Structure 1
Amino acid sequence: MSKHVYEVMVETQFSAAHALRHYRGQGESVHGHNWRIQVFVRGEKLDENHILVDFRAVREATEEVMRYLDHKHLNELPPFDQELNPSTENIAAFVFHQVANRINTPHYQVTLVRAWETPTTMAAYGLA
């Protein structure tokens, strides 16, 4: 029998510079992107107001993380300032954990973050 879930998504963006360590190609030089971030939250039951989670709560938690990243050189920010490459994959994972730590409850959880580096390239990190 199939299990049904509700899912909500908020989308935002940030601009930042990064350089990929131990990479040969254009990505090894400092360059910038306008990342588009999508945060997906899932749960099985709606609350007494018939919503899964307030979009505002998801947006505010996501925007808090965006303020940390926006208009920065990511290689200078923890956790990307040491050996963790500021790849789009690692950015998606970072946003996932940061937002999840702020909003997850027993009733709903962040399940996926998509980080679009360009309009045609994206990396995702989430629950299997």
Structure 2
Amino acid sequence: MMQYITHNHRITMYDIFVRTHFAGAHHLRDYPGDCEKPHGHNWKVKITVRATELDHLGMGIDFTVLKKHVKEVIDTIDHCDLNEHEAFRVLNPSSEHIAMYLFDNLADLLSHERYSLYSVTVSETDNQGLVYYGPQK
């Protein structure tokens, strides 16, 4: 039987992530510039789950489980005109709102006694993006 070293009096955390991407079109309503015109991006996304304990196999969350849930939610916005998507008919489909949408739709799927969704990173290019941490509890 395998024994694990415990870290008495210390809180341990593991940030487990997957990277993915999706393509879509959008325009930002009332934006004073080119982004008000319809255009597209190949957004890059990083989903991070924070685990405070490991399971009997030594994992915080199985990558297979994490990738499955992320794919389910990403598929709802992949290759869409985001302005026509129900979630963005009122909200501008900015990277910030896209990150919030992904977080809100993944939070329950990635909630367990050992782990929970920690952050969603959305990048329009390799050089610009943001990290969304969701509502503070």
The alignment of Structure 1 onto Structure 2 pairs a total of residues equal to: 127
Encode CA deviations 1:47-67: one digit per residue, 9 max, x unaligned: 111100011111111111111
Provide the residue aligned with 2:18 in structure 1.
10
Whether 2:107 is the aligned partner of 1:100: answer yes
- Equivalent positions of 1:1-128 (< 5 A) are 3-81=11-89, 83-127=90-134
Contact persistence 2:82–2:93 (CA under 8 A): yes
**In structure 2, how many angstroms separate the alpha carbons of the residues matched to 1:54 and 1:18?**
33
SS in 1 for 2:70: helix
Amino acid at match of 1:108: Y
Overall identity of the aligned pairs, in %: 35
Gaps of 5+ in 1: none
Gaps of 5+ in 2: 1-8
SS in 2 for 1:79: helix
**In structure 2, how many angstroms separate the alpha carbons of the residues matched to 1:2 and 1:49?**
21
User: Which consecutive segments of 4 or more residues in structure 1 shift more than 4 A?
Assistant: none
Give TM-score, length-normalised by structure 2: 0.87
Contact persistence 2:18–2:67 (CA under 8 A): yes
Kindly state the Cα deviation for residue 16 of structure 1 after the two structures are TM-superposed: 0.1
Encode CA deviations 1:20-64: one digit per residue, 9 max, x unaligned: 012111110110000000000001110111100011111111111
Higher helix fraction (1 or 2): 1
Kindly state the Cα deviation for residue 2 of structure 1 after the two structures are TM-superposed: 5.9
Across the aligned residues of Structure 1 and Structure 2, the Cα RMSD in angstroms comes to: 1.4
